[in-house]
Amino acid sequence: MTEKKKKALAEDPIPDPFSEMDSSDCYINRELSWLQFNARVLETAENRRLPLLEQLKFLSIFHSNLDEFFMVRVAGVLHRYRETRAGAQDSDDGITPSSLLSAIRRQTLALLERSGELWKDLLPSLKAKGISLVEYDDLNEKQRRFALAFFRDRIYPLLTPQAIDPGHPFPTISNLSLNFIIRLQNQSGKTRFARLRCPDNVSRFVLIPRSLDNPDSAEPEKDIRNADILPLEELIKEHLSLLFPGYTLESCGMFRITRNSNIDLAEEEADNLLYAVRDMVNQRRFNGVVRLETSRGMPASLSELLVTHLNLKAFQIYRTKTPMAMVDFMDLYSAGRPGLKFSAYAQNYPEKLRSTSAFDAIREKDILLHHPYDTFEAVTDFIRQAAEDPDVVSIKQTLYRVGRNSPIVQSLIDARKSGKQVTAVVELKARFDETRNIIRAEELEKAGVNVVYGLAGLKIHAKLCLVVRRENGSIQSYAHIGTGNYNAATAQMYTDLGLLTCQPDICADIADLFNVMTGYAEKSTWRELLVSPRTMRSGLIEKIRHEIDIQAQGGHGEIIMKCNQLVDKTVIRALYMASKAGVKISLIVRGICCLRPGIPGLSENITVRSIVGRFLEHARVYYFGNDGNPCMYIGSADIMPRNLDRRIEVLTPILDEQIKKRIADGILTLQLQDNTRTWALNEKGSYVRIRRDRDGTAINAQEDQIRK
C-alpha cells in the first residue's frame, strides 16, 4: 500500500458500525430508570379506581422498593462517589457519581412529596371504611387507660433506653430499625440525650377497642373493624417519660437509617461458605450508613446530633411525610376486609394434571403453567408425586427463595426419608434471604438430603427440578424449568411461567448442569438450553443477528423480549443494530431499561413498554420471528451483566408449537395491546401512560388472563 493511500485512509477511516452507539445519549442511567419504575408503582397507588387496600399495598411496595434501592443501588453510587476522582465519567450514560447522587435525591424527594400527599388522602378514606388509623390524641379517656395498661404490660418490659454521653458512646444503630432520639433535662438543669429502639418482635399496630367494659385490661382487639389502630411508636412516644424518672422530657424525634447491604464475600478464601454468608448477614446490619430518615417535627438540634454522630452529608438526610417503615403497613392489607381489595378469582389447575399422574401427562405432551392464573399447586404436586412415587429414584432441585413452611422443602425431605437420592442446590447468597436459606439448608441436611451451597463466584439463579424415574426397564427423566422462584407465597403475586417436559435433550442438559453445579464438571456447549455465564449472551445475540439476516434478505425480522430489566450494553448494541436493519423490536420491560427507543436512524424500530398491574410481572420470554417459524425461550434470566456473567441462569426453548402459540398470542400480543396498566418509554427517556382511545376497547392484560 502506497504512502498516499495510507494517508487517505488515515484521514477518512472506515466507519465503525458501533461508534454512534458509544454516545452517552444512547443509554439511560440504570438508577434513574429504576426510580422511574418505582414512580410507576407510586402512580398505581395513586389510582383512585383501585380498591383502598390495594392503594395502601402499592404505597407500601413503593416504600419497600425504595429501602432496597438505597441499600443496594445508592450505596454503590455513594461508594463510587467517594472512590472516583471528581468529574470522572462513571457510566455509559455519561453521568458522574456526584451528578447522579444529586439527580437521585431530587427525584426521590419529588416522589416522597407525592407519597406524603397520597397518605394524607388515604387516611380519611380508610377511616370511612372502618380502618381507623389514629394518633394518641384521638383516643378517648377509656382508650387511653387501655393504652397505658397495654404499654405497661406488653411494651415497657421490652424497651431499653440508651444514654448518650462521654461514658456512653453513641450506640450502633441497626439497619432499618425504628428509633427515638430524646433530649432530657435532669433536676439540676443539665441536658442529656438518649436513644430508644422500638421493639421489632411485636406488632407495629395496637388495636384499641372502641367499646371498653374494662379499660384497665390489656387484651387488644382482634378485629380491625371494632378497633382504632394505633401505631406502636405513637404509644411509646406518649409514655416516654415513664422510662426516665427524675428527668424532664424536653423533645424527641423518630429516625431510621439505611445501611449499605453490599458486602464483598471472599468466597474463594472461605473455608466454609455457610459460615461466611452467616457472618456477612451479621455485618450488613451495621455496615456504612447510606440514608437517614427523620420524622416530621424533629427539632433541628436533634437532627444535627444524629448527623454529627453518624458522619453524614446533607444529601443523605430525608424528612418523611408518611410513617416510617411503610412496609409494615402491608400487615393491614393482610388483616381481612376482602371488600377493599381486588375481587377474588379462581385459579386454574390444568386438566391434564388433574385427571392423571403428572408423569403420564408430561409424557403425552409438554405442559405450560402460567402463574398465578394457573395454580402453583401444580408444581408442588409434581414434586410431591415424585417424592411419593416408588418408581422415582432421584430428585434434583435448585432453591433460591423458597419462603416459609415450603411444601417443596418438605417433599424433598419426604423423598429422602423414603430412600430416594435427593440433591438440593441452595443458593445461600440470595440477597436478604440468606438467613432463611441457611435454615432451610440445615433442615435438608439434617434429613439426609445432599445439599450443595452454590458455587464460589457465581450465584445459582436457575429454576430447575429434575426427576429421574424407572419405567419399563429403563430410565426416564422429567423436568420443570421456571421463570420464578419455588415459592408458593410469591407465586400468588408474581406472574411467572413454568414448563413441565420430558424432552430428552432438555433433560440431558439439565442433568449435565446439575453436575456442573454440584461437582467439578465444566461444560461450554449445550444441546438445547442457553446457559449463563457461557452461552446465553452469545446465543441471544446469534438469534438477533439471524433476524437481521432475514430482514436483509427481504424477509420480516421480528423480536419480542419480555423481561424485568434490560441493562447489558452488548445486547442493547445488538438490538440497535437490528433496529437499524429494519427489524421490528417490541420490548416489554417491567423495571430498568437502559435502551433508549425512538432515536431516528438508531432505535426508531424499537418500542419499550412497562406493565404495572395487580400482579408483579416476572416472567422472561425471548421471541424471535425466524421468518414465520418462531423461536422462543423462557427462563430465569434478565438482560443484565450480573445475569449473563456472574450467575448460572437457564433459558429453555419452547419446542411444542401449541405452547409457543399460546405464549405468543395469549401473553406477548395481549400485553402489547394493553392500554390500561401500561406505560411507554419515549426517546427522551421518560415513561408516558398509554390510554385507550375514547371509543376504543379497554384492554387489561392481567384481568383478561384472569377471565380466560
Q: Which residues are catalytic?
A: 461
Burial pattern 88-103, b for ≥16 Cβ within 10 A else e, equals eebbbbebbbbebbeb
- What DSSP assignment string belongs to 318-346? EE-SS-S-GGGGHHHHTSS-GGGSPPP-P
**Residue 702: Cβ within 10 Å count:** 21
| Cis-peptide, bond into residue 653, ω within 30° of zero | no
d(CA 251, CA 26): 52
- C-alpha distances in Å from residue 369, one per residue of 352, 501, 630: 12, 11, 20
- C-alpha distances in Å from residue 368, one per residue of 10, 468, 616: 57, 20, 19
Task: Determine if residue 246 is left, alpha or beta; phi over 0 gives left, psi from -120 to 50 gives alpha, anything else beta.
Answer: left
| Cis-peptide, bond into residue 533, ω within 30° of zero | yes
For 288, the grid coordinates are: 456504612
CA contacts within 13 A on the Cβ side of 372 = 17
d(CA 479, CA 426): 18
- What DSSP assignment string belongs to 631-662? EEEEES--BSHHHHHSEEEEEEE---HHHHHH
Residue 499 DSSP symbol: E
d(CA 630, CA 339): 44
